Amino acid sequence: MKIIRLPAKLAAYALRLKRNQQSIGLVPTMGALHDGHLSLICSARKENDFVCVSIFINPKQFSAREDFKKYPRPLSKDLELCRKAGVDIVFLPEAEDIYPEGFGSFVDLPAISSLLCGKTRPGHFRGVATIVLKLFNITRADNAYFGQKDAQQAVVISRMISDLNLPVKLRVMPIVRCNDGLALSSRNVYLNKQQRQDAVVLYQALCLARCLIDHGLVDTQRLLLRMRQLIAKHQTAKIDYITAVDLNSLKPIKRISQGCLIALAVKFGKTRLIDNIVI
């Protein structure tokens, strides 16, 4: 397994791979790897000749009041997991190499970036889209692997690929969950014992929604009310949003239909967690 830190060095290496007709699968991460990341790496390993995992905590997607400095950084563990998973290249850049002095170019998709999580995290998806485009260009990836848990992120990246005619295939993989249903997240480590117990209600609320839909409830407001009532029973939970939207535009819908996204964001203490299902 190679560890490459400089963007130019990785770009040159990727170009040699492409000249040799080798396919490249990219798994972008911010580190603190868990089984969700490993499932992406496993899919990339099956579908590509070379697998590149980027580990970069992107400062451009954090606001001033978010947890950039506290974000977990277990680098030694991450590298060992990558090695065991059969990763070929770990891209481990410094912020000054990704955003050198004078950097001023950004990718912005305001129509979808300002919705859902974008309402309370202004600038977040501009930072996400910008770093992902840079990673696509540096690695010359054929396939890029993202998790369904970050549904809005996947929609933003899909739109960017389409709008900019990027030669990358987006692979959105299923959510990986703990045995009790909580979606795996690097931020789960912030939860105390009570918050961790309460956080299971996110998946319970989504399961309730699916059950109600299966029994014929299609009115969005009634459905979301039932979900809110369930989550409100837990004192440590503070709802940011619960919504049902069109999966492509992310605009709210009045009636549940096949292919729509039901998504939520809830804070437990200071830890904000997201989850979703596609109907």
Catalytic residues, by residue number, are: 37
Q: Which two tokens stand for residue 36?
A: 């969700």
Alpha-carbon distance values, 31 to 95, 149, 223, 269 (Å): 14, 16, 36, 23
Per-position DSSP letters for the chain, written without gaps between them? -EEE--HHHHHHHHHHHHHTT--EEEEEE-S---HHHHHHHHHHHHH-SEEEEEE---GGG--TTS-TTTS---HHHHHHHHHHTT-SEEE---HHHHS-TT-------HHHHTSTHHHHSTTHHHHHHHHHHHHHHHHT-SEEEEETTSHHHHHHHHHHHHHTT-S-EEEEEPPPB-TTSPBP-GGGGG--HHHHHHTTHHHHHHHHHHHHHHTT--BHHHHHHHHHHHHTTSTTEEEEEEEEE-TTT--B-SB--TT-EEEEEEEETTEEEEEEEE-
* Closest of 105, 71, 100, 90 to residue 28, by C-alpha: 90
Q: What is the dihedral of CA 56, 79, 136, 8, to 10 degrees?
A: 80
